[in-house]
C-alpha cells in the first residue's frame, strides 16, 4: 500500500520504517528540513534499537523515502498518517497546532480520496477537528473529494519501539467508516499473523483509550513512589513489598518500580492533558490529579537526600550523575528526572559531571550554555573526585559496576540511587554509604 507518514519523529519514523519493512511504499514527510536531509543521507536523527538497520535496508530497497514537499507527501499515500508532536500548551492541554497544520496541508493538496489516520496522541474530539479542517480546506478550493478520519493511537515504547510496532499487543482503530477499517486491517495484517489484535471502536473511545493507558501506567508508578516514601519512614523495604504485591496476578509486576518520578515525552504531558480535558467537561479527576502531584514531589526526592547529607549549600561540591535519558535505550531527555536533579544541584552551588551511554549529544545541546555541568567519556570517569554518585537512569551498563574501582574513584563512597539498582546490604558491605528509594 502507499502510505504517507506526516511527522518523522519517534513515532513517525518507526511506523514508516516498519510499514516499509513488510513491503509497503512509504513516504515520510517532515517540516524539519535538517531531519529529512539527515535521513536522506542515511543518518538516523534519534536513537532507537534496531531502527537504523530497518531504515537503511528499506531506503536502499526504495520502499522508504523522505521529503519536505507537502504536495508530494499528500499525493503519495491513500493513507495519510499524522504522527506530529502534540506538546503541552500553556494551560497543559495538548497543543493541536501541528496536527491541524497537517490536516490543512492534506486539504490543500489532495487530489484523490484519502484515509487520514490520527496517530499522534490527541484529546477526545480531535478527529472531529481534523475532519472540519480538511472539509474547510476542500471547500475553499471548491473541491469535492471523499476522505475519512480515523483514530489509531500508538502504544509503542521508546527504547523498544521497533519491537513493539512489529509485535503489537493491540491495534486500536477508532472509525465510523467501514472502508477505512478494511484498509487499516489490510495495512496491519502482517503485524498480527498469529491472531487478530485489531480492536475496532468508535473514534472517541479510541482517542480516550490512549490517555487512559498512559494515565493508568503513571498511576502505578506514582502509587509505588508514595509507598516507597512511606516504607522509608516505617523501616520497610519497598522491594519486598513490590514483589509481594506483584505476584498477585490481579496486580502483576509491570510498572511497579519506585524511582525518581516518571518523565519522558508522553506520561507527563498526557496526564496533564487528560486532567485539562476533564476540567473542560466540568469534571475534576481526583486520582489522576494526585498522580501528577505525587510525581512532582517524587522528582525532588533524590536531591532532598543529597541536601540532607551534605547540607543546603553545595558550593565546592562535585557530583557524578549516571543517566540522562528519561529511561534506558533511548536518547530522549524530554521531562527526564535528570533535568530536575541537575537543575537543583547546580542551583545549590554544586558542579555535575554526567555520563549517559547514548543521550550525551542530546544533553550537550540542552546544557551548551551552562557552565556547572561537564560530560565524561565513560561512567567511571564521571565519578573521579566526586563527593557522591547519583543514578537517574537504569541503564544495563550501570547495574554491575566495579565497586572497588568506583570507591577508589569517588572522593567519598556515597551513592544516591534513584533506580534501586543494587542490593543495599551488598553495596554497604563494600564500604559505601547507600541511599536507595524506599529501602
Ligand atoms: N514518543 C513516544 O514514545 C510516543 C508513543 C506513543 C505516542 N506518541 C505520540 O505521538 C506523537 C508524536 O510523538 P513523537 O515522540 O514521535 O514526536 P517528535 O517530536 O519526535 O516528532 C514529531 C515530528 O513532527 C514534525 N512536524 C511537526 N509539525 C509538522 C507538520 N505540520 N507536518 C509534518 N511534520 C511536522 C516535527 O518536525 C517532528 O519531526 C505525539 O502526539 C506523541 O504524544 C509518542
What domains lie within the chain, and their CATH numbers?
2-201 (3.40.50.720), 211-297 (1.10.1040.10), 300-435 (3.40.50.720)
The preferred substitution site among 4, 10, 34 for testing ligand 1, maximizing ligand atoms within 8 Å of CB, is 10
The phi, psi pair for 66, rounded to 5°, reads: -135, 145
Task: Give the model's pLDDT for residue 194.
Answer: 86
Average pLDDT of the segment spanning 144-163: 97
What distance in angstroms lies between residue 86's CA and the mean position of ligand 1's atoms?
A: 7
Neighbouring C-alpha atoms within 13 Å toward the C-beta of 265: 19
Q: Which three cell numbers stand for residue 158?
A: 521508546
Q: Which three cell numbers stand for residue 285?
A: 479527576
Distance CA 418, CA 42 (A): 37
Could you give the 3-state DSSP secondary structure of residue 42? coil
What distance in angstroms lies between residue 376's CA and the mean position of ligand 1's atoms?
A: 30
Q: What is the pLDDT of residues 164-192, one digit of tens each?
A: 999 999 999 999 999 999 999 999 999 99
Contact at 8 Å (CB) between 27 and 73? yes
Task: Give the model's pLDDT for residue 77.
Answer: 98
Beta strand ranges found along 229-289 (DSSP E): none
Q: What is the pLDDT of residues 203-216, one digit of tens each?
A: 999 999 999 999 99
Percent of the chain with pLDDT over 90: 98
Task: Give the model's pLDDT for residue 187.
Answer: 98
Average pLDDT of the segment spanning 24-51: 97
Asked if pLDDT for residue 161 goes beyond 90, the answer is: yes
Asked if pLDDT for residue 369 goes beyond 90, the answer is: no
DSSP letter for 154, please: -
Residues in contact with ligand 1 by the CB-under-6-Å rule are 6-12, 29-32, 35, 83-86, 98, 101-102, 120-121, 154, 156, 158, 265-266
Q: What is the pLDDT of residues 327-343, one digit of tens each?
A: 999 999 999 999 999 99
Contact at 8 Å (CB) between 398 and 323? yes
Would you say 121 is a known binding-site residue? yes
Neighbouring C-alpha atoms within 13 Å toward the C-beta of 392: 33
Whose cell is 519523529? That residue is: 9
**Band of the pLDDT at 293, cuts 50, 70, 90?**
very high
**Band of the pLDDT at 40, cuts 50, 70, 90?**
very high
Q: What is the pLDDT of residues 236-284, one digit of tens each?
A: 999 999 999 999 999 999 999 999 999 998 999 999 999 999 999 999 9
Could you give the 3-state DSSP secondary structure of residue 198? strand
- pLDDT, the chain, mean: 97
Distance CA 398, CA 214 (A): 27
Whose cell is 484498509? That residue is: 183
Task: Give the model's pLDDT for residue 416.
Answer: 98
Higher-scoring residue by pLDDT: 320, 195? 320
SS3 content of the chain, % helix, strand, coil (to 5): 45, 15, 40
CA 352 to centroid of chain Cα atoms? 25
CA angle 147, 152, 153 (to 5 degrees): 140
Task: Give the model's pLDDT for residue 264.
Answer: 94
What distance in angstroms lies between residue 345's CA and the mean position of ligand 1's atoms?
A: 31
Distance CA 320, CA 354 (A): 6
| Nearest by Cα to 413 from 424, 403, 398 | 403
Contact at 8 Å (CB) between 94 and 273? yes
Distance CA 198, CA 217 (A): 21
Distance CA 285, CA 247 (A): 29
**Band of the pLDDT at 426, cuts 50, 70, 90?**
very high
Task: Give the model's pLDDT for residue 193.
Answer: 85
Q: Which three cell numbers stand for residue 163?
A: 519491537
Task: Tell me whether residue 194 is exposed, middle or buried, using C-beta atoms within 10 angstroms of its C-beta: 0 to 12, 13 to 18, 19 or more.
Answer: exposed
Under 8 Å CB-to-CB from 261, ≥6 apart: which residues?
Answer: 221, 225, 295, 296, 298, 299, 301, 337, 340
Task: Give the model's pLDDT for residue 340.
Answer: 97
Asked if pLDDT for residue 139 goes beyond 90, the answer is: yes
Under 8 Å CB-to-CB from 243, ≥6 apart: which residues?
Answer: 253
**Band of the pLDDT at 153, cuts 50, 70, 90?**
very high
Amino acid at each position: 500500500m502507499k502510505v504517507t507518514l506526516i511527522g518523522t519523529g519517534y513515532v513517525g519514523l518507526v511506523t514508516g520504517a516498519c510499514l516499509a519493512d513488510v513491503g509497503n511504499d512509504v513516504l515520510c514527510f517532515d517540516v524539519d528540513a535538517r531531519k529529512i536531509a539527515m535521513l536522506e543521507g542515511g543518518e538516523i536523527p534519534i536513537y532507537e534499537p534496531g531502527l537504523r538497520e530497518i531504515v537503511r535496508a528499506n531506503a536502499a530497497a526504495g520502499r522508504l523515502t523522505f521529503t519536505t514537499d507537502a504536495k508530494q507527501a499528500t499525493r503519495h499515500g491513500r493513507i495519510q498518517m499524522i504522527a506530529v508532536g502534540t506538546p503541552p500548551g500553556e494551560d497543559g492541554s495538548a497543543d493541536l497546532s501541528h496536527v491541524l497544520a497537517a490536516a490543512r496541508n492534506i486539504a490543500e493538496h489532495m487530489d484523490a480520496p484519502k484515509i487520514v489516520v490520527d496517530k499522534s496522541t490527541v484529546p477526545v474530539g480531535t478527529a472531529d477537528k481534523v475532519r472540519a479542517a480538511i472539509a474547510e480546506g476542500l471547500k475553499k478550493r471548491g473541491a469535492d473529494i471523499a476522505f475519512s478520519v480515523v483514530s489509531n493511537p500508538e502504544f509503542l515504547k521508546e527504547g523498544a519501539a521497533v519491537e513493539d510496532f512489529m509485535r503489537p499487543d493491540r491495534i486500536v482503530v477508532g472509525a465510523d467508516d467501514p472502508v477505512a477499517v478494511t484498509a487499516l486491517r489490510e495495512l496491519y495484517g502482517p503485524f498480527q499473523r498469529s491472531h487478530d489484535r485489531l480492536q475496532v471502536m468508535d473514534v472517541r473511545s479510541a482517542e480516550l483509550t490512549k490517555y487512559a493507558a498512559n494515565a493508568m501506567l503513571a498511576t502505578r508508578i506514582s502509587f509505588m513512589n508514595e509507598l516507597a516514601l512511606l516504607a522509608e519512614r516505617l523501616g520497610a523495604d519497598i522491594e519486598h513489598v513490590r514483589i509481594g504485591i506483584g505476584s498477585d496476578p490481579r496486580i502483576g509486576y509491570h510498572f511497579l518500580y519506585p524511582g525518581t518520578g516518571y518523565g519522558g515525552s508522553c506520561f507527563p504531558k498526557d496526564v496533564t492533558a487528560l486532567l485539562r480535558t476533564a476540567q473542560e467537561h466540568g469534571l475534576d479527576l481526583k486520582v489522576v490529579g494526585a498522580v501528577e502531584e505525587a510525581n512532582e514531589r517524587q522528582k525532588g526526592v533524590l536531591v532532598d537526600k543529597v541536601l540532607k547529607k551534605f547540607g543546603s549549600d553545595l558550593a565546592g561540591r562535585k557530583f557524578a550523575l549516571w543517566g540522562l535519558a528519561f529511561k534506558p535505550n533511548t536518547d530522549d531527555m524530554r521531562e527526564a528526572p535528570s533535568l530536575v536533579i541537575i537543575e537543583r544541584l547546580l542551583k545549590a552551588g554544586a558542579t555535575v559531571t554526567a555520563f549517559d551511554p547514548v543521550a550525551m549529544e542530546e544533553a550537550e545541546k540542552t546544557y551548551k550554555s551552562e557552565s556547572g555541568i561537564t560530560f565524561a567519556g565513560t561512567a567511571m570517569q564521571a565519578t573521579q573526585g566526586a563527593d557522591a554518585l547519583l543514578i537517574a537512569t537504569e541503564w544495563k551498563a550501570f547495574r554491575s559496576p566495579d565497586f572497588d574501582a568506583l570507591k577508589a574513584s569517588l572522593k567519598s563512597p556515597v551513592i544516591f540511587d534513584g533506580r534501586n539498582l543494587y542490593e543495599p546490604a551488598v553495596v554497604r558491605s563494600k564500604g559505601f554509604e547507600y541511599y536507595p528509594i524506599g529501602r
